[in-house]
Structure 1
């Protein structure tokens, strides 16, 4: 397992895996804020799914617990399953990044994500899955295969939404994007590239979406009002970045 290290600068605490590369970040005075832009976009399933009692989401890769903390605070009806292989990351998320301990709404599994999505007990179980799996080298997601993304699709309910953090300027990008598209029948949207070449891909399972962009913008505004998440550019960014989606969202 990679060693877990930390640094602080300007009121921000950073997570590293034994190198200078950043694996996550937290504003110390506001630990429940999602600080990094790509992490914020990983919550974009909220645009298409109403939170309700009994909803279940899976977070593959814990990092600093940014998504876990946000969901725990702002989506009280949701049950979250976190999948993290490195026990040191689990300990550091709780001790250094204010991630809550497991409770009736939060369960943490120390297991490999590739094994997790192949487990028959989770078939058609999750409304949303968030994938942010990187190792110390950060040269692409640690799980990239077609079988992995098919597994993600299998454990999603219908309707269900997958969000994945990708690196746009690395050879892993095309491999991952192609495998996501094949697993999800090309029902994939991309956010514009954010800081450090991060691109969030969003894939859909279930009935076809046919919605006006103004309705997506309305939903984004509502999310911002309720949670403070800076969603005001989401609809316009998705509209610009994805071909054949200019007039309305049809996927």
Structure 2
């Protein structure tokens, strides 16, 4: 007698809602999985998503367009569009649910793939293990949640080690930590185990409870003047509230001392 085949869990329904001039993506529930301002579709609307761009504090602005960004979890494609269109970066996004990709192209102004944009429908945990990605990513942005948004779907030291292996020597990973069943301390410990304590930085939580953590492939401590200058450039050139970030963004090791 043959064993019954185990079916993969059904993927959630994808829909959207409009509130004023802001459109939000949902996966079959009221939880917002991403948002877009209708009159500025390439800007980043949500505060925590803006903070996922904090890797830019660790590189010089002229080098940004020569770098490669990867998003694990497409959401409403805010990061993907910003990196591809505003920063003109080589951009790769990995999304498990093909309906999310379809929704982003139909409702959230995600452009078609081209020489600088590649949207891959795949399991992120499996995709990032492929040798072709090793050491090629400068900015890895991880925002992996199911329809209930209860906790990160992938949140182990092994997963974060695989993420670290993707990065160039100057590369950074940013992760959104959020959810009813999430544990910031546990997730931070897993990230620190994979990257090392001195490589990890964190924001204070947003009002909504999102905490963005950044981990560097190669730990560094830019001086205050460098960070201030880079933050001013990000704000002036790309409209990111980076000067405000510096008041709520610190190396984790300093907060533990």
Do the aligned residues in 2 keep the contact of 1:169 with 1:197 (CA within 8 Å)? no
Give matches, 1:9-24, under 5 Å: 9-24=19-34
CA 85–225 in structure 1, closer or farther in 2 if over 3 Å, else same: same
Q: Distance in 2 between matches of 1:56 and 1:243?
A: 28
Q: Distance in 1 between matches of 2:12 and 2:70?
A: 23
Query: Are 1:7 and 2:17 counterparts?
Result: yes
Q: CA RMSD in A?
A: 1.8
CA 86–123 in structure 1, closer or farther in 2 if over 3 Å, else same: same
Q: Distance in 2 between matches of 1:168 and 1:135?
A: 10
Give matches, 1:141-152, under 5 Å: 141-152=152-163
TM-score, normalization: structure 1? Answer: 0.91
Task: Tell me which of 25, 29, 36 is aligned to 2:46.
Answer: 36
Q: Distance in 1 between matches of 2:207 and 2:45?
A: 12
Q: Distance in 2 between matches of 1:236 and 1:130?
A: 22
Deviation at 1:120, TM superposition (A): 1.6
CA 115–192 in structure 1, closer or farther in 2 if over 3 Å, else same: same
Map of 2:7 onto structure 1: none
Do the aligned residues in 2 keep the contact of 1:82 with 1:109 (CA within 8 Å)? yes
Map of 1:194 onto structure 2: 206
3-state DSSP of counterpart to 1:135: coil
Map of 2:172 onto structure 1: 161
- Matched length: 243
Q: Distance in 1 between matches of 2:14 and 2:179?
A: 25
Note the residue ranges of structure 2 that are not aligned, 5 or more in a row: 1-10
Map of 1:102 onto structure 2: 113
CA 53–236 in structure 1, closer or farther in 2 if over 3 Å, else same: closer
TM-score, normalization: structure 2? Answer: 0.89
Do the aligned residues in 2 keep the contact of 1:139 with 1:172 (CA within 8 Å)? no
Deviation at 1:174, TM superposition (A): 2.5
